[in-house]
Structure 1
Amino acid sequence: MQALLVVDVQNDFCPGGALAVPNGDAVVPVINDLAAAFDHVVLTQDWHPAGHQSFASSHDGNEPYDTITVDYGEQILWPDHCVQGTPGAAFHPDLNVDAAELIIRKGFRPTIDSYSAFYENDGTTPTGLTGYLQTRGIDTLVVVGLAADFCVRWTAVDGRDEGFSVSVVEEATRGIDQDGSLDAAWGAMNDAGVQVISADAARAQADA
């Protein structure tokens, strides 16, 4: 059984948002079309408290996109984004959220960032998604959303590590591409056994 996993299609990651991914909103119609083809759809939502450790504003003397060391390793510092209850944290208004059977909120712990839909960035704190998917009998994931080089990458790779078959739809994701991060992401996903497929292939897979 398969599911469409839609990662962080939120206002702050779209043009005009606090951490906008170039052309991030272009994924919305593609994702809506795919969601109509899949029987099971799961959404993730970045959901930070104000003053989150990953925000540059929480660290005197640092600027957005600086890298610091925290107790779980390196942390890129971001502009304040997807703060709980703010318009920036809301899903893009054109995204079809009615198709979702589950919304996983991540990054809500003040001292741990969270890219992956499966684990916080410490690599050990689970979101509970694995158990949900397994109890539903879902073994195949088609991943879409934002951003390709961070939350999509880590979600796809962790999904493989958790034993799922994982594909990423190329037309349904966009990247930030910070210091070569996009090429590194595609390489990491390839090394993990993630398949990169077209939207047409994903629709055919959903219909199979």
Structure 2
Amino acid sequence: MKALLLVDIQNGFCPGGNLAVAEGDAVVPVANTLIERGGYGFVVASQDWHPPGHGSFASSHPGKAPFEVGELAGKPQMMWPDHCVQGTEDAAFHPDLNVSAIDYVQRKGEDPAVDSYSAFRDNDKNAVTGLDAVLKEKNVTVLDIVGLATDYCVRFSALDARAMLPHATVRLVTDGCRGITEEGVTEALAEMRDAGVEIISLDEALHDHR
């Protein structure tokens, strides 16, 4: 089966959100086009779902400002603005996203003591979300990925998909992704490519009827 993973297409990461990615909302029509015309048997959406006072928030660390590097769970941690707090409008999916087509929502980042960029497991790689088991049960052989942000949650979701779904082809649809920094995106694409993730365009995704 061919599946689509929508990574964190939430208000918080789009213009006007608490951790906005430049042109983040531009991924929404691409995601909707893939949903409509990509021939997917299963559509999954990950959702950042932080409790108030999450450990990755700069506000949880006196003296730390957003985008400074601090420490969480004994490891270096980028300090973020408060974002995607459970039940808030910031955490909701973008209003233009075709949410009616989503078959399964995977929430992440709920443990206040560790961040979770990946839809598959936390940053410590200790706790898994269970998404890999869901996709294996569905016999997913091709997983296409779009979303936000290329250099963080998309990157680590794609890398974990390669590691945890060894028999599936994992593809990143670049038109449907936006990143935080140009350097970060370049580095992320190289790392994903080196790990065996196929980097493709929207046209390629639509015209491949596997």
TM-score by length of 1: 0.96
Partner of 2:21: 21
1:33-55 Cα shifts (integer Å, max 9, x gaps): 10113221100000000000000
Asked if residue 166 in structure 1 is aligned to residue 170 in structure 2, the reply is: yes
Asked if residue 154 in structure 1 is aligned to residue 183 in structure 2, the reply is: no
Give the distance between the partners of 1:139 and 1:74, measured in 2 at CA: 35
Partner of 1:65: 67
1:72-99 Cα shifts (integer Å, max 9, x gaps): 5221010000000000000000000111
What residue identity is the alignment partner of 2:24? G
| Range moving further from structure 2, 184-193 or 47-56 | 184-193
Tell me the secondary structure at the aligned position of residue 62 of structure 2. coil
- Residue 53 (structure 1) aligned to one of 55, 60, 63: 55
Alignment of 1:105-144 (within 5 A): 105-144=107-146
Q: CA deviation at 1:147?
A: 0.4
Q: 5+ unaligned residues in a row in structure 2: which ranges? A: none
Asked if residue 182 in structure 1 is aligned to residue 188 in structure 2, the reply is: no
Tell me the secondary structure at the aligned position of residue 98 of structure 1. helix
Give the distance between the partners of 2:104 and 2:176, measured in 1 at CA: 20
Contact 2:162–2:197 (8 Å) recurs in 1: yes
Tell me the secondary structure at the aligned position of residue 185 of structure 2. helix
Partner of 2:103: 101
Partner of 2:201: 198
Residues 141 and 72 from structure 1, CA distance in 2 versus in 1: closer, same or farther, beyond 3 angstroms?
Answer: farther
Contact 1:64–1:79 (8 Å) recurs in 2: yes
TM-score by length of 2: 0.95
Tell me the secondary structure at the aligned position of residue 156 of structure 2. helix
Partner of 1:12: 12
What RMSD, in angstroms, separates the aligned Cα atoms of the two structures?
1.1
Give the distance between the partners of 2:202 and 2:83, measured in 1 at CA: 29
Contact 1:72–1:121 (8 Å) recurs in 2: no
Give the distance between the partners of 1:152 and 1:116, measured in 2 at CA: 7
| Range moving further from structure 2, 37-46 or 102-111 | 37-46
Contact 2:116–2:122 (8 Å) recurs in 1: yes
Give the distance between the partners of 1:204 and 1:109, measured in 2 at CA: 40
Q: Which runs of 4+ in 1 moved over 6 A?
A: none
Contact 1:144–1:168 (8 Å) recurs in 2: yes
What residue identity is the alignment partner of 2:190? G
